Structure 1
Amino acid sequence: MSFIILACITGFLVLVTLLPFWKHDAWWVRGMDFPRLQLLVVGLLVLGASIIFLELNDKGSWLILGLVFGCIILHFSWILPYTKVFPSEVKTARNNGEDNLIKIITANVLMTNHNAHKLLDNVSKYNPDVLVTLESDKWWEEKLSVLEEEYKYTMKCPLDNKYGMHVYSKLPLKDTSIQFLVESDIPSMHAIVILRSGIKARVHFLHPAPPSPTENESSSERDAELMVVGKSVADEEGPIIVTGDLNDVAWSATTRLFRKVSGLLDPRIGRGMYNTFHADYWFARWPLDHIFHSEHFTVNHIERLPHIGSDHYPMYVELMYDKADGADQEGLEADEDDLEWAEEKMDEHTVEESDVHEPGK
């Protein structure tokens, strides 16, 4: 009986481990990108149970052990870069002057969450230069209006469909644009932010819809938005920051493809996962809220902030503009297959990189 139970569990584990390698964009395929940490834990539990309950002189038992061990190795290889034992992709900042520092809070507030004071407490404590809110509607806009005396530069797109977005900035925002790149009700924001030193950085704020049975049945809309923005920044020589709730995990094939296409760096690599969703369930968390940047920046600080009543934790990042120190930082490189795959994703929704507003040009 133990053999049958463990064989069935092993079969399921193998299926959900291998399913994401299939490049199909159905939600039930892409959804298996998310719980790699949880599946790693399941694999370790099954491995332990197999050693305890199976007859180790039986070939079938060794087959189960081999398959489970293989699944563990695969899941571990995907999440390893998001642990402190892995080399950091982005350097820790040296002192390059406060004027070259930009501090950002990215917060998916959850539209139905009415604990605005908790977010405002975080803003008061961490004093960011830029606050980005996602899922913010008119109610949230009214509550956050108290910030506008200090945060004079704003971008506002209140919506009641859980895809509203607001940006509040102490630093000047120029050449701003709110676009609906792939879906008519899903906005993105694009601007130039000017650091205190006078350095101009191109910023993109994103919140594409996730693949799920209740929203988009496939990931194609999300993937197309990520790819078209990635392509638009790929040849940019100046500093770039992309942040938001991408509704994709850091280690997925799609996010890796975005990093390859865009050439941007992930400051979490070698530092931690910073799992931001789901804030209410410790056993079902993964990194959905992201920040990527060009090699012009190094990392001064990165932190997941306290619970604000949302299903997401906010993320806080301090980036230091240091072109000289960051010049030798390298991320992932795209090959021809990667570029072709990205083009296919964009073609599904007939979007091109020229559709993306390129602030500063």
Structure 2
Amino acid sequence: MARYLVSGGAGYVGSHVVLTLLDQGDEVVVLDDLSSGHGGSLQPGIPFVQASLADRKALDEVFAAWKFDAVFHLAALSLVGDSMKEPLRYCRENLSNSINLAEAAVKAGCLRYVLSSTAAVFGVPREVPITEETPTLPVNPYGLSKLMMEQALGWAEGANGLRSACLRYFNAAGADPAGRCGEDHDPETHLIPRAILATLGQLPPLHVFGTDYDTPDGTAVRDYVHVMDLAAAHVAVLPRLDQGSVRYNLGNGRGHSVREVIAAVERISGQKVPYENGPRRAGDPPVLVASSARMMAETGWRPRFDDLDQIVETAWNWHVAHPRGYGTQRSAA
């Protein structure tokens, strides 16, 4: 049995990583400042430390209290639009906090570090599917902040022996099929939950940004990967770190348009999704689809929820069962 530290473990993807680790019998300590995570997502009985990654003393205390086999780092500022308004804050906090955690891990002799990265490191790619060889040219400060940390980790392997896995997510979606965790953002910016919440009357009609793209139905195409598949990838990558640091793209390898997502929500819910068409958003590429071939070949990982209706169904079920999201927060233990 191993023990892991999960920063951002009360957040959307982080809480599902925690579930995956617990389900396989491992011990987990969650570190989260609850600025965007939810105490209600934390599983009963697990150690939880409410602290900021900017607090170096708190980090040292965590590593002194427990010995970890690896660190999963999922805490970050992650809203692309906000990053355009506050570029210095995004670059400062995402990079410096990630470095603080990495330095604390190195100091404690924990030399495996899994970083939640993003497809935003690629910017607007010229070709799809996007592979690990696709040039990294971020077009927003959020993507830049993640790319800078990826580069810092590359140097840290040679200097400090810190082996890292940078997992570049595409569009995380869905919820734990057992209903233990789900997606609860404020504001909610992701398409699938926005479509669901609009259908449930909890948000205004969905706004479709652009209907004149060079795609089969004119709307933007994205790669939706189930959150439990992302969580499984964090675990699958650990043995690969014995051979050195890695960078992997994580997606389904299948693209779905905005209109296809709307149709899937309507099939699952049996209701019409209220929506209105509007102009494109600046900087939105027509198609973003991942190639996860390297991850699959080198780790054996495979998406289990590779059907859009499966993904939407788990999200729909969670939102129907949790009309107020998590509702309350758990105080620090």
Q: TM-score range by the shorter chain?
A: under 0.3
Give the alignment's TM-score, normalised by structure 2: 0.26
Quick check: which has more Rg, 1 or 2? 1
